[in-house]
Every structure is written in structure tokens, then in C-alpha cells.
Structure 1
Amino acid sequence: MEILALRSCSITQAKIMGTIASISGALVVVFYKGPTIISASPESPSPSLLPLDSSQTNWIIGGLLLAAEYLLLSIWFIVQTQVMKSYPAELIVVFLYNLCGTIISAPVCLLAEGNLSAWRLRPDIALVAIIYSGFASSFSTVVHTWGLHLKGPVYVSNFKPLSIAIAAAMTVIFLGDALYLGSVIGAIILSIGFYAVIWAKAKEELKEEYCCGSLGSSSDGKTPLLDSYKGEGM
């Protein structure tokens, strides 16, 4: 767990301010557009032409479900970090995680889609999408678990807001979407917060290594140089 010392520790203040800046930058990217810096290419679809079949109520329910998902994901990162301390085997933990997820989601999927013909696999783009989704999901879970084992939940969670800015940049580069001023401002704020948290975590690790080194040198039976000099003088 993270140690908070708001008044006496600049590292804690940097982590808190960096986290707030990262979340604020992500919100700016999502909710604020501003003037257009790079216009969209003619091939890219216009947002007004996209089909909107869902009602406003469904959008609200979807947003609440996504908020609940990321809240539970943050709790899962903390639990998974404690699991990795007791059982540091990333591949086995990820296998059991995916196995339990499959066992839980299988009855729900069958209830949601009762037509058995819809579950038939055919050699088309749908099969490629299923294979890619399974591989990408398993690989990302392994990377997240490995990062939790090495750095902890704060370090891994800090990359979540950064993915919004990366997605905005990728849509401009590969899909030809328009680049807005809000995306640039939000990405700058997000990057500042991201590097603030990374700096604070690096300083915290150096401090812990220094403290562990000091304790190790004093507990191995060796007397520090200054104390031995005082002992010889007496």
C-alpha cells in the first residue's frame, strides 16, 4: 500500500498532484475539443453519419457500468499485488484468472444469447477477431501482472489515463481523424502528471533502497566507521 505524508513528504505530494493532473488531462481530451489543428481526411467517416441506435438512457447506463468496471479494476490491482507478494508466478496467476473468468461468464453468455447457432465458429473475420481478442487480452493481463509484481498498483494504473492520449494520437495518424486543441492541451497536462508520478515512485524506491541498505549495514554485526572511531578514542 502507498504511504501518505501530505505535510512532510514532497514525494507523496508529487504522487497526488501527478495523479490529479493525469485524470484532469484525460478528462480534457475526452470532453473538450476546441479549434481544429489538423483537419480530418476525406476518407474518414463524419461523426454525424455514424448510426446512433441507442437511447440516452442506455448511454447513461453504459457510462455507469464503465465507471463501476474501472473502480473494481483498481481494487483488483491492489488485491493482485498482494497475491503476487505471496505467490510470485505471473503465468499461473493469469491462467487461473482467465479460467475463473471463463467459468463465471459462460452461463451469463448462454443466458444472454440463447441461439446456439450464433456460437458456431466459421473461418471468417469473426474467428480472427476472437483469436486476436483472446491473445491480446491474455498478453495484456500477463504484462499488467508482471508490472504489479515489480512496481505496484499505482505505477500500473498510471498508464490508464495515458492510453487515452495515445488512442487520440493513433486515430489521427492511422484513421485520419481531426486533431483538436483540446486533445493537445489534455495530452500535455496528462504527460506532466504521468511523469510526476513516475518521478515520485523512482524517488520513493531510491529512498527505500537507501533505508534498507542502512539497516542491513547496521544489523550485520559491523560497526559504522564513526562509531568505531569514537570507541577507539575512548
Structure 2
Amino acid sequence: MEAKNKMSEVLPFIIMVVMEGWTIGLTIFAKTAITNGMSPFVFIVYTNALATILLFPSSFLSHQEDRKQRQTFTFSLFMRFLFIGLIGVTMTQAFLFLGLSYSSPILVCAMSHLFPTFNFLLSLILRFHIIKTQKTELNLRSPGIQVQVIGVLVSIMGAVVVEFYKGPLVRPSSHHLRQTKQLLLFSSTPEFWLLGGALLAAASFSLSISNFIQKETLEQYPEPMKMVSYSSLIGMILCAIVSCIIERDINAWKIKRNKDLILIVLTALVGGVIRPNIQVWLTRTKGPLYVPLFKPFGIAFATTFAVCFFSNSLHYGSVIGTTILGMGYYTVIYGQVKGNEEETNCDDSSESLDKKIPLLPEKMEV
């Protein structure tokens, strides 16, 4: 029994660590393919199309047991799926892979840590809107909010460092091979860090907006994998429309190398099917904050890969800035945990008050 309990704790940990390593590895391969001539828009269309084909059957099988409680598909739900597909798939991936083409995987890893920062800022905006409409109060002195504010400031400082400070090379090499002749690429030459970082930050912001829409959608349509499938389908269609407008050259749509085809299949399988299912499973079993805890593991993987395999590609500024962003990321997550504890304590105290209040009128009548 103890061995089973240990396995239930160790296995999810191993799975998430492996998933973060896979993600960084696929990002490096995608950087290589895009630098060697593959259009990022074509890459997005092919990966989303294949992911949608693979995801639809698995999503319907995963919800087969809930047939009796199947939710009705309304126009309001369709509009929500449309916005999730537009913002969470089309815009996010367009910004992401364009940003990758102008930068490197370490910058992708860094800017992805801005996701909880944008989440917190958007939640504050929504709370202020609720306060104005319902005339309630927001306790800015609560420990949870204060910790998250500190995390946001640390994250912004890390983003500034990784954007504007490069510093010396971590592992300089005396003979620098031309990157076009290398089997794998980690960064572009020349690197457009400001543009790449801005696009990657925009990708995190788009994903944050999509995350808020998803949370509200799940309250009406509590079937997460079906929601992901519908959103992926709509996002794929929108990606195809945008890509056809931008990439009018037919030759750009031809897959010229077998390794590009393998990359598309792996990206669709891991990023479009395996990862969403694992996230849904671990969110249900371990809680909503379990999966985000492993995001900073990508910093270690990206740094290790760059140091071991890519000389003259990684600067100290990237490592320092990304590490600061990781610290800010964990600080914001910790603030969310503190905020959830405060809300739970408030709910418990209000329930105890509700139990005591009905006794008062009885005593007064006596």
C-alpha cells in the first residue's frame, strides 16, 4: 500500500519533468526548422490540423461516461469556442513561433513565465470592474495579493534583464561554426531580441486572456477535452485562413525534409494531444496549481541543452533574467496559494456564522 502511495506521488512528478524536457527539445527542433526555411505559419497550420484529427476521437471517448449529463451546444458556447480558438490558438501560436524565429528557446522559456503575471493583472482588472458594479471592496492588504504583487514586480524585472542585458557568453568556443551548417540551432544570428521578446510576451498575454475565457466556459460546459477539441478545430481553421493570406507561395507549403515532417507529427502528438490530457488528469487528481509548478523546470533544461550542445549561443544575461523570472513565477504562484487559503478560511467562517444566526431570532421571540 505504501509503495502504491509513493508511486502515485513519484509518477506524476516524473511525467511532468519529462514533459517540460520534451517541450524544450521540441522548441529547439522548431527553431531549427524555422531558421532553415520552414514558414512558422505553415508549421502552425500543419501541427494544429494533425493535433485536431488526433484529439477529437480521444476527447469524445474521455467523456463517453457522461452521456446522460451531456451539455447542449448553444450559440453562446460557439462564440466562446471561437474566441478561445482565435486568441488561445491562432494569436498565441502566431506570436509564439514568430517570436521564436527572432530569438531563441531560452527567451521562449523566459517570457512564458509571464503567464501568471498577466493572469494576476487581468484578475485585478476584473475585480475592480466587479467592485464598481456591485459596490464591494477589495482588500489590497491581504497577504495573498501582496505576495502576488511582489512576484509581478520580480517577474517584470526579470523580463527587463533578459531583454536588455546579454552579457558574456556562458560557453564561448574558439571555432564558431556557421549556424546554417549545424544540425540543430539554438539562436538566430543576428538576434532580434526586442522584437522576439515583445512577440513572446504578447503570446503569454493572449494565453492569459484565453485562460479566463476557458474558466468561464468550463462552468457552462464542464467537458474540458471537448472544449479543447472544438477550440483547436476553430483555431486550426483560423490559422489556415491567416496563413493562406500571408504565405501565398505554394512552395512554402511543401514539406521538403523528412525531419520537418517528424517534427510536425511529434509537436502535434505531444503538444496537442498528450500534454492537454496529462494536464486535465493531473489538475483533477492533484489540484489546479500542480501543473504550473513544473513550468520553471524548463529553465534548467534550456540552460543545460544550450551549455552542453550549443557553444556561442547562450549569454549570462539570458540565464540571469530567466532565473529571476522563474523566482517571480513561483512567488506569484505562492501568492495564489495564500489567496486560496484566505478564501477558504473566509468561507468557513461565514458558514459558521450562518449556522449561528438562525438561533438569534428564536431567542428574541422567547
Equivalent position of 2:156 in the other structure = 23
Q: Of the two structures, which has the highest relative contact order with CA contacts closer than 8 Å and spacing of 6 or more?
A: 1
Give me the whole-angstrom Cα distance separating, in 2, the residues matched to 1:140 and 1:44: 36
- 1:204 aligns to 2:319 (yes or no): no
**TM-score, normalised with respect to structure 1:** 0.66
- The counterpart of 1:186, out of the listed 298, 306, 321, is 321
Change (3 A) 1:163 1:25: farther
Displacement of 1:128 in angstroms is: 0.7
Alpha-carbon distance change, 136 to 146 in structure 1, aligned in 2, over 3 angstroms: same
Find the aligned partners of 2:188 and 2:344 in 1 and give their Cα distance.
55
- 2:206 matches 1:72: yes
Residue of structure 2 equivalent to 1:135:
269
Are residues 1:195 and 2:330 paired?
yes
| Residue segments in structure 2 that go unaligned for 5+ positions in a row | 1-122, 128-137, 182-186
In the alignment, the residues of structure 2 paired with residue 84 and residue 102 of structure 1 have an alpha-carbon distance, to the nearest angstrom, of 21
**Cα drift, residue 5 of structure 1:** 3.2
What is the CA distance between 1:26 and its match in structure 2? 3.1
Shift of 1:113: 3.9
Supply the distance in 2 between the matched residues of 1:27 and 1:69 (Cα, whole angstroms). 17
Matched residue count: 216
What RMSD, in angstroms, separates the aligned Cα atoms of the two structures?
Answer: 4.4
> For residues 68 and 33 of structure 1, do their structure 2 counterparts lie closer, same or farther at Cα, with a shift above 3 Å needed?
closer
Change in Cα spacing, 1:77 to 1:32, as seen in structure 2 (3 Å) is same
CA–CA separation in structure 1 for the residues paired with 2:190 and 2:310: 25
Look at both structures and tell me which one has the larger radius of gyration over its CA atoms: 1
Matches within 5 A, 1:39-188: 39-41=171-173, 45=177, 65-114=199-248, 116=250, 119=253, 124-138=258-272, 139-140=274-275, 151=288, 162=296, 165-166=299-300, 168-177=302-311, 180-188=315-323
Q: CA deviation at 1:30?
A: 3.7
Inter-partner Cα distance in structure 2 for 1:76 and 1:106: 20
TM-score of the superposed pair, with normalisation by structure 2: 0.46
Alignment identity in percent?
Answer: 29
Structure 2 residue identity aligned to 1:20: L
Match of 2:166, SS state, is coil
Pairwise CA distance, 1:90: 1.7
Compute the displacement of 1:94 (Å).
0.8
Structure 1 gap ranges (5+): none
Q: Contact (CA 8 Å) 1:12, 1:200: kept in 2 or not? A: yes
Indicate if the aligned counterparts of 1:94 and 1:142 stay in contact, CA closer than 8 A: no
Change in 2 beyond 3 A, CA 1:28/1:10: same
